[in-house]
């Protein structure tokens, strides 16, 4: 592997840098996403049980101790429950925007790496072909041993560029699927919370 890395030329170093950064982002993102996931249905029942017993503050404390976007939305809504439906829904919507931004954090860098890695590989291809044709021009003939080095650079950088982009694309698509699922879960849980609060008479519409 070291031999092929050295044969690829100086562009292998930025490719290696992109691979390391992309791998770090993927590992951290995977850990954060799985850490943020909770059983929203079970959590909703816990919160509703606290509210039904008349202790909204205790429900808020449970939200504060629970990680994840669903608990953040519940906390935002319950904190404004005494001000009416409009305040609660507005608080939940604002918090949802913040939580979605947090969930999508780092995805731009991952997509940038997916785009740049093959481009660097193709740049190495162009560089390698220039070297190969330069050797042909100097020798005034096609000698395989003289042009092999340039062709090797061209193939290796392209290979490594694609080898970086393909797994990163897999991680990117996987993360997008997880995030989309969590957003749907957030919306469903928040709607159920508001509906149950209204049914229990805890939440009332703000008087005009």
Tens digit of each residue's pLDDT (9 = 90 or more) over 38-65: 888 999 999 999 888 878 889 899 999 9
Task: Decide: pTM greater than 0.95.
Answer: no
* Residue 134 · residue 112 · CB < 8 Å: no
Q: Confidence class of residue 208 from pLDDT cuts 50, 70 and 90? A: very low
Q: Round to whole Å and give the CA distance between 18 and 114.
A: 9
Question: Which residue range is the domain that position 95 belongs to?
Answer: 2-199
In the chain, the DSSP E strands lie at none
- Which residues fall within 8 angstroms of residue 166, CB to CB, at 6 or more apart? none
Give a yes or no: residue 207 inside a domain: no
Give a yes or no: residue 208 inside a domain: no
Give a yes or no: residue 204 inside a domain: no
Candidates 164, 35, 179; CA nearest to 107 is: 179
Over residues 109-146, the pLDDT tens digits come to 999 999 999 999 888 888 777 777 776 677 666 666 65
Give a yes or no: residue 107 inside a domain: yes
Give a yes or no: residue 103 inside a domain: yes
The count of structural domains within the chain is 1
Give a yes or no: residue 73 inside a domain: yes
Q: Round to whole Å and give the CA distance between 29 and 202.
A: 38
Give a yes or no: residue 124 inside a domain: yes
């Amino acid at each position: 592997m070291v031999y092929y890395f050295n044969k690829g030329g100086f562009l292998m170093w930025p490719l290696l840098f992109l691979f390391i950064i992309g791998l770090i982002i993927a590992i951290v993102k995977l850990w954060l996403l799985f850490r943020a996931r909770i059983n929203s249905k079970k959590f909703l029942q816990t919160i509703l049980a606290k509210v039904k017993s008349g202790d909204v503050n205790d429900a808020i404390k449970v939200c504060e101790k629970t990680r994840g976007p669903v608990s953040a939305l519940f906390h935002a809504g319950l904190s404004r429950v005494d001000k009416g439906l409009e305040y609660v829904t507005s608080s939940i919507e604002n918090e949802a925007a913040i939580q979605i931004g947090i969930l999508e954090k780092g995805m731009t860098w991952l997509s940038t790496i997916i785009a740049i890695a093959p481009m660097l590989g193709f740049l190495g291809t162009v560089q390698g072909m220039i070297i190969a044709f330069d050797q042909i021009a100097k020798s005034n003939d096609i000698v395989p041993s003289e042009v092999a080095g340039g062709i090797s650079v061209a193939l290796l950088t392209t290979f490594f560029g694609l080898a970086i982009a393909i797994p990163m694309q897999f991680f990117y698509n996987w993360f997008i699927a997880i995030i989309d699922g969590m957003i749907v879960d957030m919306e469903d849980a928040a709607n159920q919370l508001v509906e149950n609060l209204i049914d229990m008479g805890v939440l009332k519409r703000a008087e005009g």
